[in-house]
Amino acid sequence: MLNKQDTWVCTHCGYTADGKFKGDICPACGLTYWRCGKCGFLFTASVTPC
């Protein structure tokens, strides 16, 4: 999920929401994906590493 001015987007399915997903889990696909803001690498994790 990418946070840009309180808009969160699931990098897997593209679901967009105002504010953070509850438990960082996408309500549309049920997965937690993170994209590195520096290199763009996509990975799964329970919490963001940075």
pLDDT digits (tens, 9 = 90+) for 31-49: 877 777 788 887 776 666 6
pLDDT score of 5 more than 70: no
Domain chopping of the chain, boundaries: 2-44
Q: 10-35 pLDDT, tens per residue?
A: 877 889 998 888 877 889 988 877 77
pLDDT at 50: 62
Q: The pTM is what?
A: 0.53
CA separation (Å) from 11 to 2, 15, 30, 35? 7, 8, 12, 7
CB 15 within 8 A of CB 28: yes
Q: Which sign does the torsion angle of CA 12, 25, 31, 37 carry? A: positive
